[in-house]
Every structure is written in C-alpha cells, then in structure tokens.
Amino acid sequence: MSAAARFSDPELAMTDASAVPILSSRGLAKTFRVGGADVVALQGVDLDIRRGEFVSFVGPSGCGKSTFLNMVAGLLPATAGTAHLAGDPIREPSRRVGFMFQSAVLLPWRSVLSNVLMPAEVYGLDPASLREKARAVIASVGLAGFEDAYPRQLSGGMQQRVALARVLTYEPEVLLMDEPFGALDEFTRETMNIELMRISQAAGITVLFVTHNIGEAVFMADRVVVMTPRPGKVSGIVDVGLARPRTVQTMRQPAYSDLVFEVRRLLGGNHGES
Ligand SMILES: Nc1ncnc2c1ncn2[C@@H]1O[C@H](COP(=O)(O)OP(=O)(O)O)[C@@H](O)[C@H]1O
Ligand SMILES: [Mg+2]
C-alpha cells in the first residue's frame, strides 16, 4: 500500500482524530482589570479532555470556573496560554461547542419549539429544515406535547429541559454547563442529572459540568477537576471509576463515598469533618 493510500484510510484517520484531545488547554490564564487593580481569576490551567468524556469542575466560589468555561467557549479571550478544540485554536464561539447556564434564558413570547429553533437564525440555518429534528430532541428531553407551550406555562425544570433541547438540536461536540440545574429543587436536579448522563452518553457528547455540589460532581463524572481558591488553579483531578449507567443506587456504594471524600480533601478545609 502506498503512503498516500494509507493516510487516506478512514480507519487510520479515525484513530488519529481520537488520539487528539477534544479539548486541551495549556497555561490558560485570565486576569481582569477591575477599577485599576488586577484580579487574577485563573492561573496556568493545563488540561486534556478526551472525546466523550464527562468532566466535572468543583471549586470555591470565585475560583474561575465560569471564566474557564467562557474562554473554552470562545466568549472571552485569555490573558495567557492556549485552548484548542480538536487541535484547532479556539478564537470565537462555534456551533461545535454548546453552552448552558443556570438560567434557561428563553424568550417568553416564543413557544418551546420556536425557542429551540432560535439559534438556527443565528447560525444562518433554515429553521424549517430543523423542525423535525427539534421535535425529536424535545421529545428526548421529556417534553413531547409541549412544543407549542410558552415558557411561563412551564416549571423551572421544564424550562431547563427546553434549554437542553435548544443546545442539543445543533449537535455540539462539546457541551459546557455552568451550574445548569443549580436553581432547581434537589429532586428535579437529580432527575435532570440522570437524564443528562443518558443523553450525553448516547450522543457521545463531551461534557464540562461546573457544579458546587461535590456529590453531584462525582456522581456524574468520569473525572472531577478540583480547583483552588482564587487565583484558580487545578488542585487535583480525581478519576471516577464507577460503573455506568449510574443510578441512585450508585450513591450507596462505599467507592462513591470514598471519591466524595477525596474531592473534599483536595478542596482543602475540613468540610463535613468534625
Ligand atoms: N467580567 C469580569 N470582570 C471583572 N472580574 C471578573 C469578571 N468575571 C469574573 N471576574 C472575577 O474573576 C474571578 C473568577 O470569577 P468566576 O469565573 O465567575 O468564578 P466562579 O465561576 O468559579 O465562581 C472572581 O474574582 C470574579 O469576581
Ligand atoms: Mg461561576
């Protein structure tokens, strides 16, 4: 076989592509200038995230978790360092990276379906061509029958489901989630978490999931990135080897408690210890 033929072998190409981290950062840092003073939000973050991985981020408030996601999303320029998406430098927001916040940010005068189709206009796609896809995704997040409802007719949890459908319709490779269910009651949050794992696994989406709930961070993730207080750095990374699919029963396993304890230890302090 000639070299040219070997390099065009689709299987080889796939192997090569999967060897490149879907996301990588080197020395990623951000300093904000606030009223003449420098606030170092994030310092030298080195991270490689594999395609399809679910990575949780925990750390004290103000340690730069949102700043990190914003830079990876291409919404905020770094002060130093680099971030790459599948080997390409991240310079601006891209459809390949979806973002979901604590608030659903829905337009109140638009129906569920119309809210889900809204990014199509931003991306220069024809919304009509995406209607069937959007309906299927709305059904997959448990909202079949609510396509024509308005946000005010939905609970907070249902509104977050709409936000999830809105981001999934555009098939992002990476989903950035900044405390996405933090405003929901605990029972709803747990249900949403389990559905998010099911959906992201089925679609092979890479998820970066920021939460201040240590138990939730472990429950969801393949790895938990623990950050230090500001200026944020990576204090440690915990591998979570718990089997999937994870259920409420997962939280009863001693291995789960051990992992939660390990994350607490990395966070420093003596949370929960007497
Ligand atoms: N746009 C901004 N301008 C100035 N300071 C900011 C800005 N965004 C964040 N910061 C500061 O950067 C630090 C990290 O913030 P953030 O990334 O929101 O932390 P986290 O999400 O971990 O709570 C904080 O001290 C915050 O006040
Ligand atoms: Mg934040």
Please name the residue whose Cα sits nearest to atom 16 of ligand 1: 64
pLDDT at 2: 46
Number of domains within the chain = 2
pTM score, two decimals? Answer: 0.91
pLDDT at 98: 96
pLDDT at 137: 95
pLDDT at 57: 98
Examine the domain organization and report whether 44 and 79 are in the same domain: yes
Ligand 1, CB cutoff 6 Å, lining residues: 32, 34, 39, 41, 59, 61-67, 230
Residue 117 placed within a domain: yes
Residue 68 placed within a domain: yes
Average pLDDT for residues 192-210, to the nearest whole number? 95
Residues in the chain: 274
Tell me which residue range forms the domain holding 124: 102-171
Examine the domain organization and report whether 165 and 199 are in the same domain: no
pLDDT surpassing 50 at residue 274: no
Residue pLDDT, tens place only, 233-251: 999 999 999 999 999 999 9
Give one DSSP letter per residue of the chain, joined into a string.
Answer: --HHHHHT-HHHHHHHHHHS-SEEEEEEEEEEEETTEEEEEEEEEEEEE-TT-EEEEE--TTSSHHHHHHHHTTSS--SEEEEEETTEEP-S--TTEEEE-SS----TTS-HHHHHHHHHHHHT--GGGGHHHHHHHHHHTT-TT-TT--GGGS-HHHHHHHHHHHHHTT--SEEEEESTTTTS-HHHHHHHHHHHHHHHHHHT-EEEEE-S-HHHHHHH-SEEEEEPSSSB-EEEEEE----SS--GGGGGSHHHHHHHHHHHHHH-TTTT--
Please name the residue whose Cα sits nearest to atom 7 of ligand 1: 32
178 C-alpha vs ligand 2 centroid, how far in Å?
Answer: 7
Domain end marker among 171, 194, 225: 171
Please name the residue whose Cα sits nearest to atom 1 of ligand 1: 32
Examine the domain organization and report whether 59 and 133 are in the same domain: no
Please name the residue whose Cα sits nearest to atom 17 of ligand 1: 64
Name the percent of the chain lying above pLDDT 90.
85
Examine the domain organization and report whether 115 and 82 are in the same domain: no
Examine the domain organization and report whether 205 and 246 are in the same domain: yes
Examine the domain organization and report whether 124 and 50 are in the same domain: no
141 C-alpha vs ligand 1 centroid, how far in Å?
Answer: 31
**269 confidence band (pLDDT: 50, 70, 90):** low
Examine the domain organization and report whether 92 and 200 are in the same domain: yes
Which is the closest atom of ligand 1 to the Cα of 76? Answer: 1
Examine the domain organization and report whether 179 and 250 are in the same domain: yes
Residue pLDDT, tens place only, 89-127: 999 999 999 999 888 999 999 999 999 999 998 889 999
Residue 124 placed within a domain: yes
